[in-house]
Every structure is written in C-alpha cells, then in structure tokens.
Amino acid sequence: MMSENNQINHMKEYKVINESNFSKIEEKLLRELRSELVDLAISSGDDFNLNEKAFFQDIKNFLDLKLPLNSIETNNGDNLNYVSDESISKRNIYINNLSNKFFQEITGYGSLDPLIKDDDLEEIMVIGVNKPVFVYHRNLGMMETNLRFKKEEDILTLIDTIARQINRRIDQESPILDCRLLDGSRVNATISPISADGPSLTIRKFKKDPLTIVDLIKLKTMTIELGAFFWLCIDGLGVKPANIIISGGTSSGKTTTLNSLANFINPRERIISIEDTLELQINHKHLLRMETRPKNIEHKGELTMDDLVKNALRQRPDRIIVGEVRGQEAIILFTALNTGHSGFGTLHANSSRETITRLINHPMNVPKIMISAIDLIIMENRIYRSDGVSIRRITEVSEVVGIEEDNIQLNKIFNWNPKTDEIKNIGITSKTLRDISETRGISMQEIEKEISDRKILLNYLLKNNLRSNNTIGEIFQRYYHNKDEVLDEIKFN
Ligand SMILES: Nc1ncnc2c1ncn2[C@@H]1O[C@H](COP(=O)(O)OP(=O)(O)OP(=O)(O)O)[C@@H](O)[C@H]1O
Ligand SMILES: [Mg+2]
C-alpha cells in the first residue's frame, strides 16, 4: 500500500494511497452524518459518550432514511453501488457495508488510518493546514507524507473524534489535549489560539509488537554480554534480586528496556506494576497491574502513585515496578526497597549523577541514606545519526556503592564508546555481582560461569531469531526450571 523513496530535497517520502474512495453522493452523506453527530454531542453536554453498537445502528437508520429505494445511476461515477431491480437484500448489503465504512471514518482516524495501522511508524505529526503530514519511521527517520489537510475543519474534526473516543474535549477554553488513546498511543493536540498556524496533532504510537531483549541486542541497544549480566543481577540467583533505575531523556527507550528486562524475572515472583497510564507490556504470569485515577468532577476519588505504591506493599509483592518515578511516591518506593522488596522504575534524567540529584531533591525528596538501595542505574540515550535516523543505546551502567562524606558514590561499570559504538565493561568488579556471590555463598568464578551460560542461551535466541515475548518467556522459564536440559538442547541445535 505504501512505498518509500528518496526525494531530491533529501526528505524521504512516505506515500499513502487512500483506500476509502467514496463516491460524491457517499461523501455528501458522510458530511451530513457528521454534522448530525456534532449536534448530538452538543445537545448531550459533558456526558457525551459513544455507545458503539447504538451508533452503528444510528448510521444504518440514517442511511436507510436517506438512500432511495431505487438506485440512482449516473455516468460520472456518482452512482450508488446497488441496483434496484435486483433484490432488496442488495440494498441492505450496501447499507451495511457503507455503515461499516462510515463507522470507521467517524470513529477511526480518517485519512490518518493507514499511518496509525503501520507499526513501523513511531510518530505521526500534523502541523497545520495545507502542509504535509510528517511521520517518523523506525528505520528511515523523518519522512514527509503525501497527505495534506486542505481545510482546518478536517483537522479539527479528527482531533474532535480522538477526544471523543476517550471522553475528552478540546475547545477554546482548554485548547490543549494531552492524552492516551485506547490502544496506548499518546496524543497531543493543540488548536488556536495556542497553535499559531492552525490546529496541530502529534501522535506517539504504541508499538503493538513490543521490542524484546533479542530485538534490543539486534538493534545494538545492548550486547549479549550486557544482557546476560542484567539477567543475573535481576534474578540475583534467587537470593538478591537487583533494584534497577532505568534513566534517560524523553523517548530514549526507557520503558521499552524496562519491559524487556522484566522478561528475566523468575516466573515464581509476584510482580505489582504501578503506572499513571497503562503503558508497560510486561510478559509475566503473576502480574498485578495498577493504574492511578484522576479526581472526578467533584475533585474527589483521586488515587495517586503514592497511594498505589502504599497499597502495593500490603499486597505482598516480590517486585514492584513503577512505570515512571517522578513524585513523592519515590519515598515509599525506596522504603520498600530498603525493607527487602525489590523494584524497577524509569526516571527522566540525563546522567546517573543527575538521576541521584533528582531523586534526593524536590519533589521526590528521597533521603540520601535510602539511595543505596539502588543497585544499578542504566542510562539510555537516543542518538541521532547524520542521516537523521536515530539509534538508542545503553550508554552507561553504574552502581551505587555507598555514601562517603555525605556524597553518594557511584561506580561506572559499563561504558559506551561513541567512536566504536560499543558498550564495554570498564574492568571494575561489579558490587552487585559480589553481593550475590556473598549472599549465595559461591565464588565469583561460579558467577562468571553462570553469566557465560546465559550468554550462550541469549546467543542461541539471537542466532535463531527467537524473538517473541512468549517464546523467550517460555525458554527462560525452562532455564529456571532445568538449566542443564536447556543448555544440552542448545548444544545439539
Ligand atoms: N532500543 C530501541 N531501538 C529502537 N526503537 C526503540 C528502542 N527502544 C524504544 N524504541 C521506540 O522508541 C519509542 C519510545 O520508546 P519508549 O516509550 O520506551 O521511550 P521512553 O524513554 O520510555 O519515553 P518517555 O520519555 O516518553 O517515557 C517507541 O516507539 C519505541 O518502540
Ligand atoms: Mg517511558
């Protein structure tokens, strides 16, 4: 349906062939239907909420009323696609099909639909009237599409449709819409007077098929060595599972890395995840997902991250995963980490030092003494190459080793070299591994042996392109259950 080719202006082009070619009569009907819908929304005030089944029936009734019993046939392509002298059922089939298409048009994303459906796109950007719609392609970077909105009204209708889907509104009074679609994609829309050149719309798409640890290694975000190291730290050989903060800038891939690392968690564990808006895609049998709730119109009923972390502690979790650590919930999270629970979280910061600074200052205010509960800080970065395509790299792994003279001591153990595009162990022995070896009562050689076994397994997954969440999950589960059997099998494959 789409093709990509290089243009002279150096901007790659993304071509969309619009499939919904309505006839002129159909287009007119759709416009009429739309305006009726707007009336309905206005008359029902704040409670307007689409009942899909009833709405579909409404469309059918509308078409039944509007369409002549006998077909209109004209020569200029404006004809309706049913023929009168055949049976009445032909008309019914036509109405049903058209209702479906209209339903899609109105509740879907109209001309943006093909873009929304393409899992290779990371972002869709509408920047105004009569300007190309831009997309950010996962492999090709920024691209210009052949789509343009010719009328301001069309962009507004689209933004309105999106807002309505999640029961929100955008208008002069609140000209910014910042929300998440039902499929998990993030949307930010603005209308005048906020956006000078007409309405804007930015959709950060949710990847339906999430990237797994195997993908991340293939993409060079991390290496097999790093993957095996993380795996051992995360399960801690059952005695000392590591606490990890994944840190980085906006859209650097923190949440994706968190998801993929969660695959390493022993299936025996009970995980509780806590998020502002559900976004994590963790593949684990025993997972309890919690989401915060905003206050209602009477300013009541709010449940914050803080409330949910507190509550999670009463639910006897082995591991608490906080989607994004940013507020006062951090203190309770760190209290939990300091009292024998283990946890993961992402945090917005540009270096491991800044991660600490943000944690100990307002609004998180975590007491310094509690910071040592963190075992690893993983820094991730989005780096733009000269061709405009971005890559994501884990650029640093640091350990919190203690406090000296009121300063929190960090040890960098892995570092990324931008020249060689490689992340390597710096040569310092990991405190996390040493802790595991001591708690478990085994030597560092044995720890190294375990890491190298896990490397063999990761290498096998990579070589055979066993990348899906389910496959990986199953193999890891078997590894936990009977490691030797799995390794033997691999040898013969
Ligand atoms: N290692 C990677 N390689 C390529 N693409 C990636 C990688 N990690 C994430 N992505 C893609 O980048 C986008 C942003 O990823 P993600 O949501 O994980 O980032 P984030 O740092 O959590 O963002 P935010 O700052 O909004 O929380 C997604 O479309 C995701 O599929
Ligand atoms: Mg995130």
Question: Percent of the chain beyond pLDDT 90?
Answer: 66
Q: Which of 238, 235, 245, 20 is nearest to 111 (CA)?
A: 20
DSSP per-residue string spanning 180-239? E-TTS-EEEEE-TTTSTTS-EEEEEPPPSS---HHHHHHTTSS-HHHHHHHHHHHHGGGT
Per-residue pLDDT at 188 exceeds 60: yes
Q: Which residues pair with 289 in a beta bridge?
A: 273
- Which residue shows structure tokens 């640091």? 398
Which residues make Cβ contacts (< 8 Å) with residue 360, sequence separation at least 6?
Answer: 366, 367, 368, 371, 408
Cα separation of 98 and 79, whole Å?
14
Strand 422-425: give its sheet, edge to edge. 287-291, 271-275, 319-322, 342-348, 244-248, 376-384, 390-404, 407-417, 422-425
CB of 211 closer than 6 A to ligand 1?
Answer: yes
Does residue 168 or residue 446 have the better pLDDT?
A: 446
Q: Please determine, for residue 110, whether its predicted confidence score (pLDDT) is greater than 90.
A: no
pLDDT tens for each residue of 216-260: 999 999 999 999 999 999 999 999 999 999 999 999 999 999 999
pLDDT for residue 80 is more than 60: no
Neighbouring CB atoms inside 10 A of 422's CB total 12
pLDDT of residue 73: 46
What pLDDT was estimated at residue 141? 92
| Sequential DSSP letters for 257-296 | HHHHHHTTS-TTS-EEEEESS-------SSEEEEE-B---
Nearest atom, ligand 1, residue 221 CA:
1
**Per-residue pLDDT at 478 exceeds 60:** yes
pLDDT of residue 7: 41
State the pairing for strand pair 121-126/12-14.
unpaired
All domains of the chain in start order, with CATH: 4-204 (3.30.450.370), 213-491 (3.40.50.300)
Strand, coil or helix: what is 328? coil
Q: Is the pLDDT of residue 74 over 50?
A: no
Atom 8 in ligand 1: residue holding the nearest Cα: 253
Per the prediction, the chain carries an average pLDDT of 89
Q: Average pLDDT of 423-441?
A: 95
Task: Verify whether ligand 1 is closer than 6 Å to residue 252 (CB atom).
Answer: yes
Q: In the chain, what percentage of residues exceed pLDDT 70?
A: 91
Mutate to test the pocket of ligand 1, among 218, 219, 256 (most ligand atoms within 8 A of CB): 256
Tokens of 461: 């997954």
CA distances from 136 to 12, 140, 149, 390, 471 (A): 10, 8, 18, 10, 29
Q: Given ligand 1 and candidates 230, 255, 281, 350, which is best to mutate, with the most ligand atoms within 8 Å of its CB?
A: 255
Cα of 392 from ligand 1 centre, angstroms: 8
- pTM for this entry: 0.85
- How far is 486 from 473, CA to CA, in rounded Å? 13
Strands 342-348 and 244-248: parallel
CB of 51 closer than 6 A to ligand 1?
Answer: no
| Per-residue pLDDT tens over the stretch 144-162 | 999 999 999 889 989 988 8
Task: Using a CB cutoff of 5 Å, list residues around ligand 2, an ion.
Answer: 254-255
**169-174 mean pLDDT:** 86
* Ligand nearest, relative to CA of residue 121: 1
Asked whether the beta carbons of 329 and 309 are under 8 A apart, the reply is: yes
Among 80, 56, 76, CA closest to 68: 80
pLDDT of residue 212: 97
- Nearest C-alpha neighbor of 248 from the set 390, 142, 392, 372: 392
What is the pLDDT at residue 39? 66
Residue range 88-102: mean pLDDT, rounded: 86
